[in-house]
Amino acid sequence: MKFLDQAKIYIRSGDGGAGCVSFRREKFIEFGGPNGGDGGRGGDVVAECVDGLNTLIDYRYQQHFKAKTGTHGMGKNRAGGRGADVVLRVPVGTQIFDEDNETLLADLTAVGQRVVIAKGGNGGFGNAHFKSSTNQAPRRANPGQPGEERTIWLRLKLIADAGLVGLPNAGKSTFLAAVSAAKPKIADYPFTTLHPQLGVVSVDGREFVLADIPGLIEGASEGAGLGTRFLGHVERCRVLLHLVDGTCEHAGKAYKTVRGELSAYEHELDQKPEIVALNKIDALSPEDLKQQVARLKRAAKKTPLLLSGATGKGVPEVLRAVRAVVDGERAAESGDEEVEAAGWRP
C-alpha cells in the first residue's frame, strides 16, 4: 500500500427536498384542505476516524464526494425522507483544513470520533404548513435549502510516543527494525526511507510506538532533500530520539545541523524532550569513539548514549531512557486531565 499523508478533495452536502402543494380530494368530503408534506433534509458530509487505516491513499483516486438530496414532500401529509450522508473514513491523527490549507476545521485523534464538515440543507415546508383561518387553501410551498459545498485538505499526522530524527544514513531504519517488528527498507545510500514508518517497541513489559521519518539535511527547511514536510509526523510525539552517525566526519556538526532544521520548523519541535544517542559504535576504534563522544557532548551539552543498531549493543539502555520520558509525559498529561475534570465539578 502506498503512503499518502495529504489530499485535497471537494465535498458537497445534499440539498433539502421541496415541499409539496397538495389538497385532499375524496368523495363525500367537501372541504378536504391542504395536505402537502414537507421535504426531507439533505445528507451531511461527515468525517469519521476509524481503526485499521494509516494512509490517505483512498483519496488519491476519488476527490469528489456528494451527499444525497432529501426526498420531496408528497400528498396525504407525507414528509420526504432524509438524504443519505457521505462518510469520509480517515485514519487516526487526520487534520482537516479549509481550502487555504491554514484554517483548521477538525483534528481527529481518537477512533470513533466524528465531525460534520458540511451540513445538509433543510427541507422546504409543504402547503399544509401555511394553512390558517384566513388562508384555508394555500397554494404555495417552499423549495429546499441548498447544501454546502467546499474544498478541503486532509492532512495526516501519525500518532506515536517517540520519534526518530537524524541525518540520512544515521541508522534510524536499522534501529527501528532491531527494536520492533517493522520492516523498513535498509540500504547504504541516503534517503532510503521515503515515507514515515511506525513500529511498536516492547521494553521491560511496557510498550510504546516509535516513528521513523526520512532524514533531514542542511537546508531542509528551505526545501533541500525531502524538505521538512514529514516533520509533521513527529509533532505529536512525546520525545525525540536523535541518532547521530558515529562514522560521520564530525558528530557535533551533524547534531547541530538537525537541531537547526528542527528550530526552523514552526511547530516548536526543538522544545520537545530529546534523547541524544551516538550510533554505529561497532564501526569505530576506541580513539575515534572517544573523540566523537566528546564532540557530540560539547554540541548537545549532555552526555550521549552509545549504541549499535546492527549488533544490539546499548539498545536496551536507549529504549529504557525513551520509555522513562514517555511514561513521565503520559503521567503529566493524565494529571492535567484530572485537574481539568475536577475544575468542572459543581
Known binding residue 194? Answer is yes
Q: Confirm whether residue 281 is marked as ligand binding.
A: yes
168 is in an annotated binding site: yes
Higher-confidence residue of 76 and 195: namely 76
Residue 5 annotated as lining a ligand binding site: no
Please state, in angstroms and rounded to a whole number, the distance separating the CA atoms of residues 144 and 69. Answer: 9
Q: Is CATH 3.30.2310.20 the classification given to domain 162-341?
A: no
The answer on whether 301 is annotated among ligand-binding residues is no
Q: What is the pLDDT of residue 175?
A: 87
pLDDT at 344 over 50: no
- Predicted local distance difference test score (pLDDT) of residue 339: 46
152 annotated to bind ligand: no
Q: Is 230 annotated as a binding residue?
A: no
- 138 is an annotated ligand-binding site residue: no
Question: What mean pLDDT do residues 237-255 have?
Answer: 89
Q: Does 173 show up as a binding residue in the annotation?
A: yes
Mean of the per-residue pLDDT values of the chain: 86
pLDDT at residue 229 greater than cutoff 80 = no
The pLDDT-based confidence of 216 (bands split at 50, 70, 90) is confident
Q: Is 2 labelled a binding residue?
A: no
Number of other residues whose CB lies within 10 A of the CB of residue 112 = 10
CATH class of 1-157: mainly beta
Distances (CA, A) of 67 to 87, 91, 97, 147: 9, 21, 20, 9
Query: 110 a known binding residue?
Result: no
HSE-up (13 A, CA, CB side) for residue 189:
2
The reported pLDDT for the residue numbered 343 is 53
Q: Which residues contact 248 (CB under 8 A, 6 or more apart)?
A: 167, 254
8 A C-beta contact, residue 215 and residue 222:
no
Q: Which residue has the higher pLDDT, 222 or 178?
A: 178
State yes or no: 37 annotated in a binding site: no
* Residue 14 labeled ligand binder: no
**Coil, helix or strand at residue 23:** strand
Res. 330: pLDDT tops 80: no
Grid cell 450522508 — which residue? 85
Considering only 38-42, 100-104, 185-189, 211-215, which range has the smallest mean pLDDT? 185-189
215 is in an annotated binding site: yes
According to the model, what pLDDT value does residue 335 have? 65
CA–CA distance, 255 with 266 (Å, rounded to integer): 19
Point out the least confidently predicted range of 7-16, 31-40, 256-265. 256-265
- Residue the block writes with cell 457521505: 86
- Per domain, the residue ranges of the chain are 1-157, 162-341
Residue 257 reports pLDDT greater than 60: yes
Q: What percent of the chain has pLDDT over 90?
A: 37
72 belongs to an annotated ligand binding site? no
| Model confidence pLDDT, tens digit, residues 193-202 | 777 888 888 8
Above 60 in pLDDT, residue 337? no
- State pTM to two decimals: 0.76
Lowest mean pLDDT among 11-25, 50-64, 141-155, 332-346: 332-346
7 marked as part of a ligand binding site: no
Question: What is the mean pLDDT of the segment spanning 88-97?
Answer: 92
CB 19 within 8 A of CB 37: yes
Q: What is the pLDDT of residues 33-68, one digit of tens each?
A: 999 999 999 999 999 999 888 788 889 889 999 999
Average pLDDT of the residues in 208-236:
75
Highest mean pLDDT pick, 81-90, 229-238, 246-255, 265-274:
81-90
Mean pLDDT of 157-162: 83
308 annotated as ligand-binding? yes
| 52-61, 113-122, 228-237, 334-343, range with the lowest pLDDT | 334-343
- The residues, any chain, with a CB within 8 Å of residue 298's CB and separated by 6 or more, are 252
| pLDDT for residue 176 | 87
Confirm whether residue 275 is marked as ligand binding: no
Q: How far apart are the first and last CA of the chain?
A: 50
Residue 232, annotated ligand binder?
no
144 among annotated binding-site residues: no
